[in-house]
Amino acid sequence: MSQPAELGSSAERLERDFRRAMGHVAAPVSVVTTYAGGVPSGTTVSAFDSLSMRPPLMTIALQRSSHLLSVLTVGSRVGVNVLGSTQEAIALTFARRDEDRFAGVEWSLVDGVPRLDGTHAWIVLTVRERVAAGDHVVLIGDVVTAERGMGRPLTYHDRVFGTHRPHATEPESRAG
């Protein structure tokens, strides 16, 4: 077997194994939104996280092919609508391509970006930096608004939507 074929098959195997391993990690589900040129845009994202508390910074990873990414520049406002456990249909709607994702979804313009009704949490940020990373671009943003909602978050684990449930008893390390 030639060297390039071995590298290719090894790389493909690693990609498959990495995808499976990351799929086994529960992740919160959000719809990331913006409002550019009078048009709302949004997509379902699970690759987002807090980066810093001082100052409050957040990261969002978007596929290079994402329409949303194409309208976001440094200085753009972005809304992170962290979905609640009953919002699976919204996650699926915003994961689809080539359709009006906002049709039939209740939302309002807040802080310059679309805010979906009934979300678990709401964070607005201003894009500070775009960093190319593999097949994604990582946005680093300054948090300008952060609100906590009610209920449980929507999560994605092993290709299935669900939610987080606390243990029936509190772990000893947190007691007393």
Mean pLDDT to the nearest integer, 143-147: 97
pLDDT at position 98: 67
Q: pLDDT tens-digit profile of 78-111?
A: 999 999 999 999 999 999 876 789 998 999 999 9
Residue ranges per structural domain of the chain: 26-164
Residue 174 has pLDDT above 80, yes or no: no
Q: Which residues are within 8 A (CB) of 48 and not within 5 positions of it... i.e. 6 or more apart?
A: 28, 30, 32, 58, 59, 60, 61, 80
pLDDT surpasses 70 at 176:
no
* Per-residue confidence band for 154, with pLDDT thresholds at 50, 70 and 90: very high
> Does domain 26-164 correspond to CATH entry 2.60.40.1220?
no
pLDDT at position 172:
61
- Residue 82 CB: number of other CB atoms within 10 A? 21
pLDDT beyond 90 at 162: no
Q: What is the pLDDT of residue 148?
A: 95
pLDDT digits (tens, 9 = 90+) for 1-27: 444 445 568 988 888 888 888 888 888
Provide the pLDDT for residue 8: 60
Q: What is the pLDDT of residue 42?
A: 96
Give the Cα-Cα-Cα angle 131, 135, 138 (nearest 5 degrees): 25
**DSSP string computed for the chain:** --HHHHHHHHHHHHHHHHHHHHHTS-EE-EEEEEEETTEEEEEEE--EEEEEETTEEEEEEEETT-HHHHH--TT-EEEEEEPBTT-HHHHHHHHSSSS-TTTT--EEEETTEEEETT-SEEEEEEEEEEEEETTEEEEEEEEEEEEE-SS-BEEEETTEEEE----SS--GGG--
Residue range 34-49, pLDDT digits in tens: 999 999 999 999 999 9
How would you label 10-22 residue by residue, b for 16+ Cβ within 10 Å and e otherwise? eeeeeeeeeeeee
Residue 171 pLDDT more than 70? Answer: no
Is pLDDT at 120 greater than 70 in this prediction?
yes
56-63/107-110 β-pairing: unpaired
